[in-house]
Copies of this chain bind each other. A is one copy, B any other.
Amino acid sequence: MHAAERERRIFEALRPTGFVSYRDLEVLLDASPATIRRDLTRLEESGQIVRIHGGAKLPEGDDASGPRLMGTSFDQNITQNLGAKQAIGKAAAALCQPGEGVMIDGGTTTLQMCPHLDGLGLQVLTNSLHIVNALLPQAGTRILLPSGAVFREQNIILAPAGEESMPRFHAPRLFMGAAAIGPQGAMQADPVLVAAERRLIDRAEEVILLVDSSKFRTQSGTIVCGLDEIDIVITDTGITPEMAKALQDAGVKLVVV
C-alpha cells in the first residue's frame, strides 16, 4: 500500500467522529506501527490533523461534529452515505424561496438541509428535535413545532391520535425522508412515523423526497405514500436507470446530485 492510499484511509476514518485511535489505524492500514506514526507525524506537520496520545483528531473548527443527542441508531445512520446526504441536502435547500414557510420531516438526510438554510429567513415547521437543534443557531430562521409527546427512538414529536397538533399551517413544500423507496412509493420502518408523515403530507402543496440511492435497494415496512403523491425526488448518482425511468413514468420529477 502506498502512502497516498494510507492518507486517504486515515481521513476516511477521521471524518465521522473527528477522531481515530491508533489501534483502529493499525487494523485499517495494515501497516507497521512505525509507518503509522510516520504518517501521523507528517500529516500533523502539514497541519491537516492534530496528534494526541493514542490517536489523532481533526483540527479544531472544521470538525463535522454536529449535534449529538443520544447514542441511538440515529447516530450510526447519520454517518452512512454522509457525502451523498450532504449533497442531497444542499440541493433540497436550494428549492426553498427566501422568507417562505416550509415543513421538514425528521431524518438523517433532511437534517443535512439545515446548514444551507441559514440566511433565507424561512419559517420551518418540523417535528424533529434534531432539526430544531440544528436550526437553533440560525437567528433568522423561525422554528415552529407541533404539540405532542416526544418519541425517543426517533427524537420526534408525535401527536396523540386524532388530535389537532399543529397551529393552522399550510406550506408550499414538505421535505421528507424515507427508509426505502420503490414502485409502491415511499416506505418507513416504523408505523408511528407513517402517521406523523401522513399528517405533514396533507398540509403540503408539494412533497419533496430526499433519499440517497441506497434507499432504492431496500425494502422496508409500511408505505407512507404512493409515487403519485410525490412531486420531486432528490437522490445521488447511484440510482439505476430503471428506477429513474420508473419514477419519471409515474410523473415524479427527478433531481440527481
* A contact residues vs B (CB 8 Å cutoff): 2-5, 12, 19, 21, 52-55, 57, 68-70, 129, 132, 136-137, 139, 142-150, 152, 155, 157, 159-160, 163-167
Contacts and interface: CB of A to CB of B under 8 A. Distances in A.
Contact of A149 (B69, B142, B152, B155): B142
Contact of A136 (B142, B152, B163): B152
Given A4-B52, A4-B57, A12-B68, 6 more contacts: A2-B55, A69-B136, A129-B132, A132-B150, A145-B157, A147-B148
Contact of A147 (B5, B155, B165): B165
Nearest to A23: B2
A52 B5 CA distance: 11
B145 A147 contact: yes
Contacts of A145: 145, 147-150, 157
Residue with the greatest number of chain B CB neighbours at <10 A, chosen from A2, A147, A149, A155: A147
A143 B156 CA distance: 11
Contacts of A144: 147-150
A4 B221 CA distance: 40
Contacts of A69: 136
B152 A167 contact: no
Q: 5 tightest A-B contacts by CB?
A: A147-B147, A143-B150, A2-B54, A146-B147, A144-B149
A137 B152 CA distance: 9
Contacts of A159: 167
Contacts of A21: 2
A154 to B, nearest CB: 12
A158 to B, nearest CB: 10
Contacts of A164: 164
Nearest to A123: B149
B132 A147 contact: no
A76 B146 CA distance: 29
5 contacts: A2-B52, A2-B54, A136-B152, A145-B149, A160-B167
A147 B158 CA distance: 11
A119 B96 CA distance: 44
Nearest to A54: B2
Nearest to A169: B147
Contacts of A163: 167
Contacts of A142: 149-150
A13 B162 CA distance: 36
Contact of A5 (B5, B19, B136, B148): B19
